[in-house]
Structure 1
Amino acid sequence: MKHILTLAAGLMAATAMHAAEPFLVAHRGASHDAPENTLPAFELAWKQGADAIEGDFYLTKDGKIVCIHDGDTKRTGGGTKLVVKDSTLAELQALDAGAWFKPEFKGTKMPTLSEVAATVPAGKKIYVEVKCGPEIVPAMMEDLAASGLKDEQIVIISFQAPVIAEVKKVKPAYKACWLASFGKDLPLNPGTDKVLATLRDIKADGFSSKADARLDAAFVKTIQDAGFEYHCWTVDDVPTARRFLGFGTLSVTTNRPEFIRLGLRAGD
């Protein structure tokens, strides 16, 4: 009996430790090790144990949704500069989106939202960052509905408050979080009053910000006490991840999911 109780206690402890694992979101995929916003980066993120992937999305000239961070392709499109909103999906996918990172990724193309969503395993999530305006929402709703993912696997994020407002209007079942960066000086801009007013106005589920060194537990608590989630980005060092997890952040977005996961475990 004593042996059984000891074994049970060990299993409970292991389960508790697993449950306490931080929720890590792979920023543009595992973008430290593969070209950002490409299928190789997203697939590697899953291999590295990410809980979710985050990608950036624009509406193309022909009404398709493509995964790219910048408004043009100069940085990640092999040096060719095409403005995303003024280009067709075929024109964008004709560019090389991998060679700029490392020669081994030569020939990688920019994926669509549908292609990225298709990589998401059961029980995992996708954070869809909308980089354009609300005009993307109808096509985005169609693509996500066709993906086969459950509502709880999808999180919409955007710096543009009108995008979040539109998402919550047409699909309230999707979680949607407003993003904001802070000005360089104190007091923080936007401050907590402005953040909370915006979140309430657009009916957001939460707020996500850069893991700014000026933020503290009191800031996060104010957001959470008002009934909103708090998330942070982009964290590639273990001390910062541990600090924000200590504040109660629900997810940490990182370019290096495996590195952060192992680093946090090593400190336990």
Structure 2
Amino acid sequence: MTVRKLLPLALFLCATPLFAGPFLVAHRGASKDAPENTIPAFELAWKQGADAIEGDFHLTADGKIVCIHDYDTLRVSGTKKSVKQSTLQELQELDAGAWFQPQWKGVRLPTFSEVAATVPAGKKFYIEVKCGPEIVPELLRGIEASGLKTDQIVIISFHAPVIREMKEKASQFKAYWLSSFEKSSPLEPSLDDVLTTLRAIKADGFSSQADARLTAEFIKGIRDAGFEYHSWTIDEPKVAENFLNLGAQSITTNRPAFLREALEHN
């Protein structure tokens, strides 16, 4: 029996979108098996059957968009360069693959357009904005140039002003606010805090870390208010199954092939 069949019928019917199995988003690509946020990782994610890829994006000093998670390049290249203070050319001169495994030596940081070009028809592209709203004009130009359809694009960010700006400038694209939770109890942000933020920035949904303290009531509260709920970053099948049963509409994972196999044969 699949995880989906374990969901209450009413919850299943209201899920958006409907799908036959768990909707899996490859976190920075198939980042368990290839260097994160690189073309090899994204291409491998598609080969592993991911429904979507998630990549992290910053604006460079010369106004280009580059795919990298951190605010500097030290962790993924061994050389420390500030992303926002470096040109795209300077960033792409770095080796962003050798840190992961020797076989990936020479892999470079990709541009937004290069990542977008890997997205097949019918698949989705989760674009996590790591900087501020200043990226929005260039990001919209990049999305238009990509040729991807509106329903293939999802904007995500921890920065509420980014989501607000995107919805003001291009409301046709789905946009989710991201948040982790403080270690304090009860949960912070609270359900009321989350809903207040979502309404203020006109977000389409909320995406959170897979915190064990989250309850069905919390997630139901988000969805009953008309918002989507998504969860990250989950590599363990039992955790993924739990969050799907709680009402998560997608699971972001570093291991799309492994997780799908485990969930669909549970």
TM-score where L is the length of structure 1: 0.92
Residues 1:31 and 2:31 are matched in the alignment: yes
Aligned residue number for residue 49 of structure 2? 49
The structural deviation recorded for 1:19 is 3.8
Runs of 4+ in 1 over 4 A off after TM superposition: none
Aligned residue number for residue 160 of structure 1? 159
Task: Tell me the secondary structure at the aligned position of residue 40 of structure 1.
Answer: helix
Residues 1:176 and 2:172 are matched in the alignment: no
2:244 maps to amino acid: L
Aligned pairs (5 A) from 1:33-112: 33-77=33-77, 79-112=78-111
Q: Percent same amino acid among aligned pairs?
A: 68
1:42 maps to amino acid: F
Aligned residue number for residue 247 of structure 2? 248
Task: Tell me the secondary structure at the aligned position of residue 75 of structure 2.
Answer: coil
1:48 maps to amino acid: Q
> Structure 1 CA distance, aligned partners of 2:130 and 2:72?
12
1:23 maps to amino acid: F
> Structure 2 CA distance, aligned partners of 1:223 and 1:84?
35
1:179 maps to amino acid: L
1:225 maps to amino acid: D
Q: Deviations over 1:77-96 (max 9, x none)?
A: 2x100000000000000000
1:99 maps to amino acid: A
Q: Deviations over 1:112-153 (max 9, x none)?
A: 010000000000000000000000000000000000000000
Aligned residue number for residue 231 of structure 1? 230
1:45 maps to amino acid: A
> Structure 2 CA distance, aligned partners of 1:239 and 1:202?
33
Q: Deviations over 1:65-108 (max 9, x none)?
A: 0000000000002x100000000000000000000000000000
1:168 maps to amino acid: K
Rg bigger for which structure?
1
Aligned residue number for residue 21 of structure 1? 21
Task: Tell me the secondary structure at the aligned position of residue 137 of structure 1.
Answer: helix
Listed as ranges, the gaps of 5+ residues in structure 1 are 1-17
The structural deviation recorded for 1:261 is 0.1
> Structure 2 CA distance, aligned partners of 1:217 and 1:101?
37
2:165 maps to amino acid: E
Listed as ranges, the gaps of 5+ residues in structure 2 are 1-17
1:65 maps to amino acid: I
Task: Tell me the secondary structure at the aligned position of residue 178 of structure 2.
Answer: strand
Aligned residue number for residue 218 of structure 1? 217
> Structure 1 CA distance, aligned partners of 2:214 and 2:192?
15
TM-score where L is the length of structure 2: 0.93
> Structure 1 CA distance, aligned partners of 2:63 and 2:171?
23
1:43 maps to amino acid: E
Q: Deviations over 1:139-193 (max 9, x none)?
A: 0000000000000000000000000000000100000000001001201110001
> Structure 2 CA distance, aligned partners of 1:198 and 1:102?
41
The structural deviation recorded for 1:20 is 2.5
Aligned residue number for residue 123 of structure 1? 122
> Structure 1 CA distance, aligned partners of 2:73 and 2:238?
34
1:175 maps to amino acid: K
Aligned residue number for residue 11 of structure 1? none
> Structure 2 CA distance, aligned partners of 1:34 and 1:137?
29
RMSD: 0.8
2:174 maps to amino acid: K
Residues 1:145 and 2:161 are matched in the alignment: no
